[in-house]
Amino acid sequence: MKCAPFDYVRASSVEETVKVLGEAAGEGKILAGGQSLVPVLALRMARPAVLVDVNRVPGLSTIRRLDDIVEVGATVRHSRLVEQPEHPLLAEAARWIGHTAIRSRGTTGGSIAHADPSAELPVVAVATGASVTVAGPHGSRDVDAEELFVSALMTSLDEDEMITAVRFARPARWGFAEFARRHGDFALVTAVVTEVRGRPRITFGGVASVPQRATTAEQALADGKPATEVARIAAEEIEPTADLHGSVEFRRGIAAEMTRRALVQFDSEQEHSR
């Protein structure tokens, strides 16, 4: 199929983007990498009246280290995340995104705004307590990642708002493990273990409509419980959804194993830091 007709605007600023989105009254979409949007348009599952191309908007493609925070602009490509040295967890997670062609075009802001429950960047955002900078008609605001994701493919963004940057905390330690049918496929379970500002966080992607934290397991980890026990607690605590890719029991089993693997990496980070 082909896309339904739409108007195209190449925005030159954040303000222009917000203005066009407002005028579109809910019928506008932002175009950056297009790796999620274009297939949906081609299938006519979405029929926006206007596409706003933000690839030429200045200031959205930078990566900056700010003390223990790494600020990533909305149009930073996944391939740059893989190559950047400032945030090793982000680099590792980005390696698991799709394939080379997708990573060369897909963007950080696009992935966060798309809110795919199987995507790597949303789960890393929650795992690091990330803050998302959002621009709208009344200026900018910051939204905690955990508050941004509402449901599968849904965020708390208003129709005339856009993501301009994401600030990821640099964890003192981290572990990342993902299970997919094949490398590059959508994740069935992703487990991320981090230590952020002295506290452990255990976060899952792919198991539900939004990234889920296992706070009871986090406390068990903080209390020094063995990795196998922490993994068991985490798998029992989360609330997976069943689909054609696996049952609730299947996802719990995979979640336990992915947590165990992430904890092995997490503990090795502690050894390296000594």
Question: For the chain, what are the domain ranges?
Answer: 7-53, 63-169, 173-273
Is 90 exceeded by the pLDDT of residue 184?
no
Residues 6+ apart with CB under 8 A from 164: 14, 59, 60, 73, 74, 109, 133, 134, 135, 140
User: Given this model, what pLDDT does residue 273 score?
Assistant: 47
**Which percentage of the chain shows pLDDT scores above 90?**
95
Distance of CA 5 to the CA centre of its chain: 30
What's the pLDDT band for 221 if we cut at 50, 70, 90?
A: very high
**CATH assignment of 173-273, given 3.30.420.40, 3.40.47.10, 3.30.390.50, 3.40.50.720?**
3.30.390.50
Mean of pLDDT values over 230-243: 97
Structure tokens at 80: 């740059």
Percent of the chain surpassing pLDDT 70: 98
Structure tokens at 46: 């979405």
CA distance 162 to 18: 7
pLDDT tier for residue 183 given thresholds of 50, 70 and 90: confident
Lowest mean pLDDT among 67-71, 122-126, 182-186: 182-186
> Is residue 111 within a helix (H) or strand (E), and if so which, with residue range?
helix 108-114
* Alpha carbons 106 and 208: distance in angstroms, whole number: 23
Q: How far apart are CA 70 and CA 104, in angstroms?
A: 20
Distance CA 176, CA 192 (A): 5
Q: Are 75 and 119 in contact (CB under 8 A)?
A: no
Give the fold, CATH level 3, of 63-169.
Answer: 3.30.465
Q: Which residue has the tokens 């930073």?
A: 76
The conformational region for residue 120 under phi > 0 = left, psi -120 to 50 = alpha, else beta, is alpha
Class of domain 7-53: alpha beta
- CB-facing half-sphere around the CA of 111: CA atoms within 13 A: 28
Start-to-end Cα distance in the chain: 57
